[in-house]
Amino acid sequence: MSKAERSDTPSGRLTLLTLARDLGVSRATVSNAYNRPDQLSPALRERILARAAELGFTGPDPMARGLRRGRVGAVGVLVDESLSYAFSDPTSVLFLDGLAREVQADGLGLLLHPARRDPAALQALADAAVDAWVVQSLPDGHPAVDVVASRGRPVVVVDQPALPGVPVVGIDDASGATTAVRHLTRLGHRRLAVLAMPLGCDRRQGRADAERQRTAEYAVMRRRLAGAAAAVAEAGLDWAGVPVVEVTANEPDAAARAARELLAGPDRPTGVFASTDQLALGVVRAARALGLAVPGDLSVVGFDDSPAARSAEPPLTTVAQPLRDRGQRVGVLVRAALQGEEVGVPPPAVVGLVVRGSTAPPPRGG
């Protein structure tokens, strides 16, 4: 027996060694009983497991195993700012669900960390024990992204920000937005407006000028606005004349507040492109509060095709993106990367317009 084997500490904690000494076998054998059943006789394995249960030993220590194997069984997920936001946004919820479902096949859990900017939070990210990181829809240049990217573990980005050499799972936001706005112009709408999610971290509310649109920190919004602009130009209209209203948060309430003044004016729009379904729901609510009929007086197009869009009253015309699928696709990439495969950047998923009840031709007088 080696020195270690002979050591006779009373050992409050239960370890492989405890068990091995108790049974008079080597640590390696106990380890094999758990990890490689084919490496020892079934009889001995049975004996080991039985004695383990007796002593209350519940298996190898996860951290020690993690160190040795280089795996902990956790996928880090960097979500925007507060968890409640990540949980309130249906897009995000379905994404996380899809991701969790996919990675749980490998026994992986999701380690959620909000992407805060303070040093303590950044340090916590650097210290987080994960096998890979998923960065979910963060603004360009967020310091937390650099931290996780520098840890040398596989990284998969969702939507944004683009990182050199890092696969991004996303959709063709621009063409989705173009389709949405084109739907409105083809219906005959000439007075349009756009509702935008936050364009920066400063939580501004109100008209976003061209400069603000161009310098938006969220790439997704930059792309959707650009797509919308393209459709507007295509219809022979002036993009500068289309009010783009930035909302403080991607929530119906905030959108309703923002939409109220937009719809109260004299030259109110007849067609609104809301860049997410959450915003679209708010627009519909505001319209109703002002006595406007949707789609009679006002057409609203959303984006995402969240569950709420389907069950809304009226059901929302929206750009459909495969929400839960995205999570799953990210999970597939993560699993592949963890198996050492080189993963390329997948092409953006296709999006298509789903026409429902929230859009119609503009009112006669409009």
Partner DNA sequence: GCTATCGTCTGGATCGTTACAGAACCAGGC
Partner DNA sequence: GCCTGGTTCTGTAACGATCCAGACGATAGC
**Contacts for 249 with CB less than 8 Å, ≥ 6 apart:** 85, 197, 198, 203
55 sits near DNA (criterion: CB under 7 A): no
Binding to a copy of itself (CB under 8 A) within 174-233 occurs at: none
Radius of gyration over every alpha carbon of the chain, rounded to an integer in angstroms? 27
> If contact means CB under 5 to 8 A according to the sort of partner, which of a copy of itself, DNA, none does residue 150 touch?
a copy of itself
* Nearest to a copy of itself of 59, 357 (CB atom): 59
Say if residues 161 and 141 touch (Cβ distance below 8 Å).
yes
128 sits near DNA (criterion: CB under 7 A): no
Binding mask 304-323 for a copy of itself (x = CB under 8 A): -------x------------
Q: How far is the CB of 35 from a copy of itself (least distance, A)?
A: 11
Strand 352-354's sheet: what is its strand order? 206-207, 244-246, 192-196, 271-274, 299-304, 317-320, 352-354
> If contact means CB under 5 to 8 A according to the sort of partner, which of a copy of itself, DNA, none does residue 265 touch?
none
114 sits near a copy of itself (criterion: CB under 8 A): yes
Q: How far is the CB of 101 from a copy of itself (least distance, A)?
A: 8
Q: Closest Cα to residue 116, out of 125, 127, 107?
A: 125
21 sits near DNA (criterion: CB under 7 A): no
15 sits near DNA (criterion: CB under 7 A): yes
4 sits near a copy of itself (criterion: CB under 8 A): no
CA 82 from centroid of its chain's CA atoms: 13
* Nearest to a copy of itself of 7, 82 (CB atom): 82
Binding mask 38-67 for a copy of itself (x = CB under 8 A): ------------------x-xxxxxxxxxx
53 sits near DNA (criterion: CB under 7 A): no
Do the bridges between strand 206-207 and strand 244-246 make them parallel or antiparallel, or are there none, so unpaired? antiparallel
96 sits near a copy of itself (criterion: CB under 8 A): yes
Q: How far is the CB of 269 from a copy of itself (least distance, A)?
A: 25
* C-alpha to C-alpha distance for 274 and 263, rounded to whole angstroms: 13
CA dihedral 162, 338, 59, 62 (to 10 degrees): -40
150 sits near DNA (criterion: CB under 7 A): no
Out of 46, 53, 54, 61, the only residue in the binding site for DNA (CB under 7 A) is: 61
Tokens of 135: 């960065």
Long-range contacts of 143-147 (CB under 8 A, 24+ apart): 143/117, 144/78, 144/113, 144/115, 144/116, 144/117, 145/78, 145/115, 147/122
Out of 46, 53, 55, 69, the only residue in the binding site for DNA (CB under 7 A) is: 69
153 sits near DNA (criterion: CB under 7 A): no
Binding site for a copy of itself (CB under 8 A): 14, 56, 58-67, 70, 72-74, 76, 82-84, 87-88, 93-94, 96-97, 100-101, 104, 107-114, 116, 120-121, 123-124, 126-130, 147, 150-152, 253, 311
Binding site for DNA (CB under 7 A): 1-5, 9, 13, 15-17, 24-29, 31-32, 34-36, 38-45, 60-61, 64-65, 67-69
